[in-house]
Every structure is written in structure tokens, then in C-alpha cells.
Amino acid sequence: MRKLLVPVLLLALLLAGCSFGKDEKPPQPPAPDLTSAPGAVAVNPGPFESGPVRAPARGALFGAWIKPDALTHVGRLAAVDTLQTELGRPLKIVNTYRRFEQMVGTPSDKEFLARGATLMVSWATGDNRSILDGEHDDLIRKQARAVRKIKVPILLRMRWEMDRPNLRATMWSGEDYAAAWKYVRKIFTEEGATNVSWVWCPTAEGFMRGDAPGFYPGDDQVDWTCVDVYAGEKFQPIGELMAPFLTWAAQRPKPIVIGEFGVAKAWGSSGRAAWIKDARRTFKANPQIKAIAYFESNPEGNGPTKQFQLSGDPPAFKAFEAMSTDPYFNP
């Protein structure tokens, strides 16, 4: 009997160990220390030519895009109000996205402006060659008149991330994009829409590849330079991700807006918190950066490497909240 009991006990212990291994989550790797990662410091101290939306003399304006539950007036207001309540402060930059045919000046646009926020309109213009052929002149003029009608200065990101490879079919080339930019801006000028600060905003990856500068319309055409930067597929310090762009932008007398930035859920709460802390330090180390806007959204259909919402992730959101209450981001 005793001989039989020992193997039975050993078997029970073995099965218990297997069950424990199945239920237990594998240990997570420690979050990398990003707080001491070097940041690429812009050498241009200003002054900067910024157009109608004036850059603060010191510090940076703080803002975000928050995906609403419904793309309605009520939905947009609720999304912004919820984040502002969680942060305990108003957003100074409200990013909003528009298709080519969608006009600026919606009720929510007007409400944000009435509250004192600066509207940053990310406008998805269409095929550059069809623009240059005059096929969309009526639409562009209608948008210019809509912008003029609101009378308040806005930031306009005309076809942001134009350097993305998946947009090449409609962008055609850097030369086509630059020509279309000049064409659209000329129409805005003709329509008296002079309350626009024109924001040129490629991706950090485009500067790392080296092709983004080819889309630049010229210093006489751009009021703010911009970059969208994410810790998505690769987890790198934001200073490293932005370094090629910052080096390029430092040669131009323009303020910088970080049009979108975000750190994906895939990197875990502690990793995300570390990345946000490093972003805060890097933005402050680069005085040419005058505005920032977080991408507070989990786009539908995307996996964890492209989900960036911080709300609901206490450690990451706490780091974001600390950034928002930093006096540097309340100029």
C-alpha cells in the first residue's frame, strides 16, 4: 500500500504543477528604462514664424484627439469633456479629422473654439493630380469660405502623413503633393481664409526612411512643421524616433507641433508609463516644440500594437496626467 501511495502522491503533485503552469500568466519582461534615454535637442531657439496661431514664447500647448463613441456634436463634446474631467484641465489643442468633403465649422468646432481651445483640423484632401487638374476647385473654395466664416485662427493639417507608403497611389510623388499644397493654399488666399496656420505633418518613420523631406512645400508655404510619432510596432524612446525629424526641423524658423503621439497597449502598463515620462522629458528638452496632441484612441480592427488609448490603464494614464499638469504644458 505504501509503495502505491508514493507514486500517486507524486502524480498528484505533478498534475497540480501542470495546472498551475497553465493558469499562471507568463512573467512579463521588466519595462525598459527610458528616463535616461538621450533626447535630440533642437538647436533653433527661435523666434518662430507661426502664422495666425501664435506659438507660446515658452512651453507647449497641450491637446489631444479623443475618438468619440459617435461622430456627432454630442459625441465629440462628450469625448473631450470626459478626458478633460479625468485630467482636471482643459485641452488647449483639440485635434479633429475631416474627409475631403467635410466642412469645418460644425457645432462642436464652434463650441471648442468658444471655450478657448485651438482647433487643429486634419483634412484628408484627395488625389493630388486631380486637385491640380481643377476637379475639386468648388469643394476647396467651399472649405476656404467655411474656415473664413469661423473667423478664429486654426491649425490646418492638409493631408497629414502624406509620406505613408499606402497613400502613394493618391499622393503620386513629393512634387505632386507640394504642388497641390500650393494650389490649395492659393485658393484659400483668394477666398480670404487668412485665419489658417498651415501645418505640414509627415511621419517620424518617413524621416527615418529619408523620403519625408521630399514632400515639403517650402518655408514660404508652411507655418508650423509637425510630426506624428508612435511607439507601435517597435518600442523605442521617443527621442530616437523623432531625432531625424528634429534635426531637419531645427534648420527652419518654424514652431513644431507633435500632431499625434501615442504608445501602444502591447508594451504593457509599466512600459507605457515609462514611454510617456520620457516623452514629457523629451518635449521639454526641445524648445522648438510648441504644441503636442496625444492620440487617445483604439482604432477599430487594430491589434494591441495600434491601440493607444491611455484611459483605463492607471499607470500609463497617471504619467499622462502628470504631463498635463506640468506648468511647462500650461503656458
| Rounded mean pLDDT, 179-192 | 98
Residues 6+ apart with CB under 8 A from 49: 223, 253, 254
- pLDDT recorded at residue 44: 79
- pLDDT recorded at residue 2: 39
Is pLDDT at 12 greater than 50 in this prediction? Answer: no
Under a CB-based contact definition with an 8 Å cutoff, are residues 278 and 35 in contact? yes
Enzyme catalytic residues: 161, 260
Phi, psi angles (nearest 5°) of residue 228: -105, 130
More confident residue, 10 or 134: 134
> What is the total residue count of the chain?
331
Can you give the pTM of this predicted structure? 0.88
Is pLDDT at 11 greater than 50 in this prediction? Answer: no
| Rounded mean pLDDT, 110-128 | 97
Confidence of residue 47 (pLDDT cuts 50, 70, 90): confident
| Rounded mean pLDDT, 71-89 | 96
- Pair type for strands 256-263 and 224-231: parallel
Under a CB-based contact definition with an 8 Å cutoff, are residues 224 and 155 in contact? yes
Q: How many CA atoms lie within 13 A of 53 on its CB side?
A: 31
CATH node for 54-329:
3.20.20.80
Confidence of residue 38 (pLDDT cuts 50, 70, 90): low
- pLDDT recorded at residue 14: 35
Write the single-letter amino acid at 103: M
pLDDT in tens, 87-102: 999 999 999 999 999 9
More confident residue, 128 or 36: 128
Is pLDDT at 149 greater than 90 in this prediction? Answer: yes
Give the residue carrying C-alpha cell 490649395: 184
- pLDDT recorded at residue 9: 37
* Chain-centre distance for alpha carbon 285: 19
Give the residue carrying C-alpha cell 498651415: 198
Angle (deg, nearest 10), helices 238-249 and 268-285: 20
Phi, psi angles (nearest 5°) of residue 279: -60, -45
Q: Which of 41-45, 102-106, 167-171 has the lowest mean pLDDT?
A: 41-45
Confidence of residue 27 (pLDDT cuts 50, 70, 90): very low
* C-alpha cell belonging to residue 149: 466664416
Confidence of residue 46 (pLDDT cuts 50, 70, 90): confident
